[in-house]
A and B are shown apart, each in its own frame.
Chain A
Amino acid sequence: MTLLLAILIDGLIYASWLFIVAAGLTLVYGVMRILNMAHGSFYAIGAYAAASAVGWYFTLGLPAWGAFAILLLAAISAGVVAGLVVERGILRILHGRDEVIMVLVTYGILLIFEDLIKLIWGIQAYYAYQPYGMLGRSKIGGLTFVNYDLILIVVAALIAGALWFGLNRTRKGKLLRAVIHDRESAELVGINVKRLFITTFAIGAGLGALAGGLAAPAIAVNPGLGIEVIVLAFAVVVTGGLGSIEGALVGAILIGLARAAAVNLLPEIELFVIYGVMTCVLIFRPHGLFALPTARRI
C-alpha cells in the first residue's frame, strides 16, 4: 500500500514538474510548428533569475513569504523577455522554414544561451533553498513529503486548467486553436497570425522559465541545466502528441508514474524507462497519444 502511494505521489510530483516544462513547449509547437530546443534555455534562465532574485530578496530582511512572489515574478519576466528577444531577433526571420530546420535553429540558440548564461551569472552555483523548506512537510501514509512539492501538483493542475480555459473559453484562445488546426485558413480569414505567434512564444517561454523558477529552490542552479531538461521535455511532448496540451499532461503523468515505479521497484531500469515509454507509445501510436489532426493534402 505504501509502495503504491509512494509511486503515485512521487510520480505525480515528477509529472507536475515535467508538465510545467512541457506545456510551454507543446503550446509553441502547436501554434508555430517550432519544436523549440531553446525551451531548455528558458528553463535555465528562469531558474537563474529566480535563484538570484530570491537570494537578493533574503538579504533585504523582508517577510519570507514575499520570496514566493519574487520567485514567480523573476522567473516569468526573465523568460518572457528572453522569449521576446528570441522570437523577434531570430525566429521571425525564419518563419515558415521546415520544422526540422527550426529544431536546429533553436539548437543553435540553446548553444548560445548556454554560454551567455555563464557570462551573465558566472559558473558558481546559485541557491534559493529557503522557499523549499519554508512551507513545512506533511506525512501521508507514513511517508514524509515536502509541502512545496505537493503544492507543485496544485500549480501544475492550475496551469493545465488555465491553459484549457484560455484555449477553449476565451476569444484569443479560440483564435489560437483555429491557428493550431489550420494556419493557412486562419490567415485567410484575417487572423493576425504574427501577433498570435509572438504572444504564444512569450507565454511558452514564460512557462518554461516558470518551470525553472519553481525547480530552483530544490536544486543547485548550475551551468548546463537547460540541456539536461530539454530532451526530457521532448520525450513528454512526443509521447503525448506534439502540440497537444492534453497530450503533454497525459504524457507527463505516464512518464512520471513509470519513472517513480521504476525507482521504487526496479532502480536498474531508471535510465531508460523514459525513452522506453516513448518508444512503446510511438510504436503503437506513431504520432503520440493525442496527435493533432493533419490537414488533407489532396
Chain B
Amino acid sequence: MPEKNFNITIIAATLLLITVGFILPGWLTFLTISILAKALVVVGVAVLMRGGIVSFGQGLYYCIGAYAVGLGGKFLGITDLLGLMFLALVAGLVSGSLLGLLMKRYREIFFAMFSLALSMILFGVLSKSQLLGSTDGFTIVKPTILGATLSTDNANHAIYIFACLLSGIVIWLGQRYLRSPMGFAGEALRDNEVRVEYLGVAPETIIYTKYLIASVTASLGGGLMALTLGHIGPEMAYWSQSGEFIFIALLGGTSHIAAPFVGTAVFEFIRTFALELAPNAWQIILGVVLIFIIIFFPSGIWSLFSSLKEKLRSGESGSPSKTPSVDLKKGDS
C-alpha cells in the first residue's frame, strides 16, 4: 500500500473513531479506551516479537506507566491529562533505556524469563509499600483537560478522544518504524542474527531500539489505563497480565502495526462473552481459543484481512502482479 494511502487511512480511521465516540453508550466508550490502552502495550509486544523476542514481563512498563500517572497526581500535584501522560512517557523511556542495557543481551526463553523476573520484582516491591496501598493499590482522580475541570462524563470523553489520537500517532510512527531500515533489521534479526552481525550492526542495538519502543508504548498504555480505570494496583505487573498481552499479540498477529488493535478488540469480546457464557469455565474457552489460533492462524487474525485483500487484488488484475510492492506482506512464522 503506498505511503499516502496509509496516511489517509490512518487519519480517516482516527477521525471516524472520534466521531463515533459521540454516540457510543458509556460502557462501550470505556471498553474502547481500555482496548486502545491494552493495544498500545501489545503494539510493543508485537514489535519485540517481530524481532524474534518475546517479553513475558511487559506488565512491568504497563505498571510503571500507570504508577507514573498515579504518583504524579498524588505526590507531584499534576492533574492535567497531557502532563500525566507525558510523565508516563518519560517514566517508560527512562526505565526502559536503563533496563534495556541489561536486557539487550538476552534472547529467546531467557529474555522471556528475565523480563518476567523483573516485572515480578516490581510487583513484590509495590506489594510491600503500604504507603501506596499495597496490593489494593490506590484511586486516581479524573484528570483535568488543558487546565479545565470537566464532569466525569466529559472527562471520560476527553480521555476517549485523547486515546484515539494517541493510538493514531502510535500506529503512524510504528508503521514508519517498521518500514525503516531499523524496522527491517528487526525482522532480519529474527531470521538470522549471524548475518545481521556480519553486516556490521550490533544485534543489541536493534533489540535495544525495540525494547525502548515497547517500554514506551507499554507505559503509555498503562498511563491511559490508569486514567480511565481510576484505580491502579501492583497486579498490573503480575506475570499473568504480561501473559495476556502475548496472548493478544498472537491473536492479532504481528504482521501489521494495527493488528494488535484488532487482536485486543477480539480478545475483549471473547473474554467478556466467555465470562457471561460460562462464569465457571471461561478459562477453557480462552485456552481453546489460544491453541486454536496457534494451530490454524499462526499469523493471527490479521492474516485473514491480508489474505482477503490479496484475493481482491488478484481478482482485479487477473494475475498476481510482479512489480516490487512496497507493502510488507508476510506472516510471522
A residues at B contact (CB < 8 Å): 35, 90, 93-94, 97-101, 103-105, 107-112, 114-116, 118-119, 227, 231, 234-235, 238, 242, 268, 271-272, 275-276, 278-279, 282-283, 286-288, 297-298
| Most chain B CB atoms below 10 A, which of A93, A114, A272 | A272
Residues of B within 8 A of A (CB-CB), count = 41
The complex places the Cα of A38 from the Cα of B286 at a distance, in Å, of 15
Please judge, given known A-B contacts A108-B290, A111-B286, A286-B106, whether A100 and B280 are in contact too, CB under 8 Å: no
B118 within 8 A of A: yes
List residues 232-256 of chain B with CB under 8 A from any CB of chain A.
239-240, 243, 246-247, 250
**Quick one: closest B residue to A107, CB to CB?**
B243
The complex places the Cα of A268 from the Cα of B130 at a distance, in Å, of 13
Inter-chain pairs besides A109-B287, A276-B121, 9 sampled, C-beta below 8 Å: A98-B333, A100-B54, A100-B112, A101-B333, A103-B54, A112-B288, A115-B287, A283-B102, A286-B106
Report B-chain residues with C-beta under 8 Å of the C-beta of A272.
Answer: 120-121, 124-125
The complex places the Cα of A118 from the Cα of B283 at a distance, in Å, of 11
Report B-chain residues with C-beta under 8 Å of the C-beta of A100.
Answer: 54, 108-109, 112
The complex places the Cα of A136 from the Cα of B293 at a distance, in Å, of 52
B297 within 8 A of A: no
Q: Is the CB of A103 within 8 A of B112?
A: yes
Q: Is the CB of A104 within 8 A of B250?
A: yes
Report B-chain residues with C-beta under 8 Å of the C-beta of A279.
Answer: 114, 117-118, 121
Closest CB-CB distance, B171 to chain A, in whole Å?
Answer: 25
Q: Is the CB of B283 within 8 A of A99?
A: no
Please judge, given known A-B contacts A103-B112, A105-B291, A283-B102, whether A115 and B121 are in contact too, CB under 8 Å: no
Closest CB-CB distance, A41 to chain B, in whole Å?
Answer: 10
Please judge, given known A-B contacts A94-B295, A272-B124, whether A238 and B283 are in contact too, CB under 8 Å: no
The complex places the Cα of A287 from the Cα of B113 at a distance, in Å, of 11
Other-chain contact of B291, A90, A115, A276 (Cβ < 8 Å): A90
The complex places the Cα of A272 from the Cα of B129 at a distance, in Å, of 13
**Which label, helix, strand, loop or mixed, suits the secondary structure of the B interface?**
helix
The complex places the Cα of A114 from the Cα of B54 at a distance, in Å, of 24
Q: Is the CB of A115 within 8 A of B281?
A: yes
Other-chain contact of A111, B105, B108, B287 (Cβ < 8 Å): B287
B128 within 8 A of A: yes
Closest CB-CB distance, B44 to chain A, in whole Å?
Answer: 16
Closest CB-CB distance, A118 to chain B, in whole Å?
Answer: 7
Interface string of B251-293 (1 = CB under 8 A from A): 0000000000000000000000000000011111011111100
**Quick one: closest B residue to A93, CB to CB?**
B295
Closest CB-CB distance, B289 to chain A, in whole Å?
Answer: 8
Other-chain contact of B281, A119, A234, A242 (Cβ < 8 Å): A119
**Quick one: closest A residue to B49, CB to CB?**
A100
Q: Is the CB of A275 within 8 A of B124?
A: yes
Q: Is the CB of B287 within 8 A of A108?
A: yes
| Most chain B CB atoms below 10 A, which of A93, A278, A283 | A278
Closest CB-CB distance, A220 to chain B, in whole Å?
Answer: 20
Q: List 10 A-B contacts (CB under 8 A).
A: A35-B109, A94-B294, A99-B109, A101-B333, A103-B112, A104-B294, A107-B243, A110-B287, A114-B283, A118-B280
The complex places the Cα of A286 from the Cα of B240 at a distance, in Å, of 23
Q: Is the CB of B113 within 8 A of A234?
A: yes
Report B-chain residues with C-beta under 8 Å of the C-beta of A116.
Answer: 284
Report B-chain residues with C-beta under 8 Å of the C-beta of A271.
Answer: 124, 127-128
The complex places the Cα of A99 from the Cα of B54 at a distance, in Å, of 10
